[in-house]
Amino acid sequence: MGITEQLNETVSKTETSGVLPSVSAVAELVAGWFGFDEVQDQDLYSETIAAAVAVVAGGLILKAAWNQLHCPLALYADSSSAPAGSKSPVLVATKTSSADIVTSVDRQIESEIRRILVPAFPGYAFIGEESAYVSSTVTMNAAKTGAPAWMVDPLDGTTNFVSGVPHICTSVALLRERHVVLGAVYNPLTDDLWVAVRNRGAFLNGRRLYCQRHVPLSDAVVVTEFGYERSAEGARRMCAVVERLLCERVRAIRMLGSGILDLLFTAQGVVHVVYAGIAGEGWQPWDYAAGVLIAKEAGCVVASLESPPGMTCDGEFLSRCAHDFDIFGQSILCASSRDLALEVHHVIREACDRVSEKHPADA
- In angstroms, the first-to-last Cα distance of the chain is 50
Nearest to 215 by CA among 252, 167, 254: 252
3-state secondary structure of 180: strand
Indicate the pTM of the whole model.
0.87
For the chain, domain boundaries:
3-208, 217-362
Secondary-structure percent of the chain, ordered helix, strand, coil, rounded to 5:
45, 20, 40
The per-residue pLDDT string of the chain (363 residues; one tens digit each, 9 = 90 and over) reads 788 777 765 444 443 444 456 677 888 888 889 988 878 889 999 999 999 999 999 999 999 999 988 864 444 444 444 444 444 557 766 656 656 667 889 999 999 999 999 999 999 999 997 676 555 576 788 788 888 999 999 999 999 999 999 999 999 999 999 999 999 999 999 999 999 999 999 999 999 999 977 899 999 999 999 877 778 888 899 999 999 999 988 999 999 999 999 999 999 999 999 999 888 766 888 988 999 999 999 999 999 887 554 445 566 776 777 677 888 888 899 999 999 999 999 999 899 889 888 877 655
**Cβ neighbours of 17 (radius 10 Å):** 19
Cα(278)–Cα(66) distance, integer angstroms: 32
**Which CATH superfamily groups domain 3-208?**
Fructose-1,6-Bisphosphatase, subunit A, domain 1 (3.30.540.10)
Domains 3-208 and 217-362 share a fold: no
**Cβ neighbours of 82 (radius 10 Å):** 15
- The kind and range of the H/E element at 296 are helix 285-297
Asked if 185 and 170 count as a contact pair (C-beta separation under 8 A), the reply is: yes
**Cβ neighbours of 361 (radius 10 Å):** 6
In sequence order, the 6+-apart residues with CB closer than 8 A to the CB of 160 are 166, 167, 168, 257, 258
What architecture is the 217-362 domain classified under in CATH? 3-Layer(aba) Sandwich (3.40)
